[in-house]
Chains A and B, each alone.
Chain A
Amino acid sequence: MITANKALNYRTDRTSRKIGGRIGYGILYTVLVLAAAVQLLPLVWLLFFSLKNSQEVFNLPPFALPSKLHWENYESVWSQSNISRYFMNSVWITLVSVVLTILLASFVTFAITRMRWKLRSFVLGLFMVGLMIPVHSTLIPLFNLFQKLHLTDSQVSLILSYTAFNLPITIMILLGFYYALPKEVEEAALMDGCSVNRIFFQIVLPMTASVIVTAGIINMIYNWNEFIFVNTFISSDHLKTLTVGVQNFVGQYTTNWGAVGATLMISIMPILLAFFLLSNRIVEGIAAGSVKG
């Protein structure tokens, strides 16, 4: 009886709520759309002024495009500065670091989840504590260390640092997937006398392809955007990556808005492209890398 009453109440309640609900829904929806506009409009504005010449930047309203789009801003920035050099440096340093990080992190995760040894929870702990250590606190000793090893002004210092600092988060993303992965196939392979290496490279690694993609994209974003290590370790202009290169270049051309806009667009384009193609993976990777800790 009581539950029936409650159910009845619930129903009348719901009809009376419906009208109020719709207005509420409308208001909430407007707020969400406005927030989306705030997130997007600065980027749209950036795209627009990257296509204007200096006069149009000052004379046209901010969200108006000129009648003729100045794509040559991109061309001249790309050909007349070191931007293409920085871009290529970013590409190869990012790629090498991502591959190295994923491979090493997969080794460690495999050893921790599949193999039997005493210190594994301690070692896992070491990697996880690494997540909390601020990069800035390591900067001066690292600079000194790389100087002694003659690795300052060498991109090796960047690859080593990126790999070390990305190992913890990558292991964290991989860990959940490895725990959930069924072990039957590996056990059968073991019975057949398969070696550890074959199990890892021919069975486990291929099975983790999807989480590798996720972790790889997260790594790529971090490496592509990294600033302070490049800014500190690298002094030769031709070795710099996009973040620092852009920073120096834009500093010289503060008044030429079209060139600045085009440079910034070039620097964020690969990330935006990755986002449009793989947004679900990125969302998944970011959620996995933060909450599961």
Chain B
Amino acid sequence: MDKVMSDKRMIALYVIPSLLLILAIIYLPIVLTGYYGLMEWDGISKMTFIGLDNYATLLQDEKFWSSVNHSLLFAVLSAVFLIVYMAVALVLAGRIRGANLFRKIYLIPMLLSSVAIAQLWLKIYHPTTGILNDLLASLGFKNTPEWLADPSVVLGALFVPILWQYAGFYILIYYAAFKNIPGSLVEAARIDGASSLQIALRIKVPLIAEVIKVTIVLAVVGSLKYFDLIYVMTDGGPNGASEVMASYMYHKAFRGFDFGYGSAIGFFLLLICLVATWGIRKLTATKDSIQYS
């Protein structure tokens, strides 16, 4: 029996095609993006090696750093909003009639393409016929801004559809985690006279610490690589006011034909995502994981 299940040929047959695929399409490119970052290259003619020039320019590039700031702002805001989602999930996981229906409704936007969502919100924000300014006008507001053309509000205006899109996803995850907590623990605390708020903050939230960590990583790393929605809605504009790391890379490479510089940005994006993942895990590390089964 052991012999059949440790047949090297069969193992190779089952694993190697997939392994080659991810090595060629995921791992080779991330090495190459660092390498291309050392080149001057327009994507067509031959590359010339320029050492760390691209990376040095990157450190001085104000537009790049403003795109990094925008990405970081989205990351921090997304992480902060996790608290709201957690609160909603706490309520849903209590005795709420129709909780299952609610979490499904919340999830719907997350299933749609970012392009469709972006096009829909372009219409919502439309200065004259959009539903948002319609609504504000009927409430008596005048001089409503041109949401996506005004540099001072554009980031906020972009963040709203992002929230709308992902809220249901995080609520769903927290809901599942809260539902996993054994009822006996909560019941014991209640008999000891703990209030619902105490139970939520002292028992339920600490018990899902692992899940919270995962969601922080997802929210932060997800925000750092936002692209589709911003590309469609503002394309980084007006005048770079909503440029993020991925869109800046795309513009430099596929519009400016500076593939070497674009690769350097891509490599930086990779590093910052890995560092963020590692850092969040490190910062939130607990000595021993909680077990309740």
Listed in ascending order, the chain A residues whose CB lies under 8 Å from chain B are 6-7, 9-10, 13, 28-29, 31-32, 35-36, 38-40, 42-43, 45-46, 49, 57-58, 62, 104-105, 107-108, 110-112, 114-117, 123, 126-127, 130, 132-145, 160-161, 163-165, 167-168, 187, 190-191, 195-197, 200, 221, 224-228, 232, 242-244, 246-247, 250, 257, 260, 264, 267-268, 271-272, 275, 279, 282-283, 286-287, 290-291, 293
Contact check, B173 vs A290: say whether CB atoms are below 8 A apart: yes
Given the interface pairs A13-B193, A137-B30, the reply to whether A35 lies near B19 with Cβ below 8 Å is no
Instruction: Give the residues in chain A near B6, CB-CB below 8 Å.
Output: 115-117
B104 interface hit (Cβ, 8 Å): yes
Closest to A38 in B: B164
Interface size on B, residues (CB 8 A): 94
Instruction: Return the contact of A141 from the options B23, B32, B105, B115 (Cβ within 8 A).
Output: B32
Instruction: Give the residues in chain B near A291, CB-CB below 8 Å.
Output: 173, 176-177, 211, 214
Contact check, A257 vs B224: say whether CB atoms are below 8 A apart: no
The B interface is mostly helix, strand or loop, or mixed, namely helix
Q: Which residues B96-154 have CB closer than 8 A to chain A?
A: 96, 102-116, 119-121, 123-124, 129, 131, 134
B75 interface hit (Cβ, 8 Å): no
Q: Give the docked Cα–Cα distance between A139 and B168 (Å).
A: 29
Contact check, B270 vs A164: say whether CB atoms are below 8 A apart: no
27 A-B residue pairings within 8 Å (CB atoms): A35-B88, A39-B164, A42-B109, A43-B109, A104-B18, A112-B15, A114-B5, A115-B5, A115-B10, A123-B15, A126-B27, A134-B221, A134-B225, A136-B246, A136-B266, A137-B33, A139-B29, A141-B32, A145-B24, A145-B28, A163-B21, A227-B228, A242-B113, A246-B115, A247-B232, A267-B113, A286-B107
Instruction: Return the contact of B120 from the options A42, A62, A195, A225 (Cβ within 8 A).
Output: A42
Q: Give the docked Cα–Cα distance between A145 and B21 (Å).
A: 13
Given the interface pairs A126-B19, A142-B25, the reply to whether A290 lies near B112 with Cβ below 8 Å is no
B81 interface hit (Cβ, 8 Å): no
Count chain A CB atoms within 10 A of each CB in B19, B116, B124, B176 and give the residue with the most. B116
Closest to B170 in A: A290
Chain B window 1-30, contacts with chain A (Cβ cutoff 8 Å), 1 for yes, 0 for no: 110111110110011011101111111111
Instruction: Give the residues in chain A near B30, CB-CB below 8 Å.
Output: 133, 137-138, 141
Closest to B271 in A: A137
Contact check, A140 vs B266: say whether CB atoms are below 8 A apart: yes
Closest to A230 in B: B115
Contact check, A225 vs B102: say whether CB atoms are below 8 A apart: no
Listed in ascending order, the chain B residues whose CB lies under 8 Å from chain A are 1-2, 4-8, 10-11, 14-15, 17-19, 21-30, 32-33, 36, 43, 88, 91-92, 96, 102-116, 119-121, 123-124, 129, 131, 134, 164, 167-169, 172-173, 176-177, 190-193, 211, 214-215, 218, 221, 224-225, 227-228, 231-232, 245-246, 249-250, 253-254, 259, 262-263, 266-267, 269-270, 273-274, 277
Instruction: Give the residues in chain A near B24, CB-CB below 8 Å.
Output: 145, 164
Instruction: Give the residues in chain B near A250, CB-CB below 8 Å.
Output: 119
Count chain B CB atoms within 10 A of each CB in A136, A143, A291, A293 and give the residue with the most. A136
Given the interface pairs A195-B4, A290-B173, the reply to whether A136 lies near B108 with Cβ below 8 Å is no
Given A32-B96, A291-B211, 16 further pairs, Cβ under 8 A? A32-B102, A107-B14, A108-B14, A127-B22, A130-B26, A132-B274, A137-B270, A144-B259, A161-B25, A164-B22, A168-B22, A190-B4, A232-B254, A260-B123, A271-B111, A290-B169
Instruction: Return the contact of B191 from the options A10, A226, A282, A293 (Cβ within 8 A).
Output: A10
Contact check, A105 vs B18: say whether CB atoms are below 8 A apart: yes
Contact check, A104 vs B17: say whether CB atoms are below 8 A apart: yes
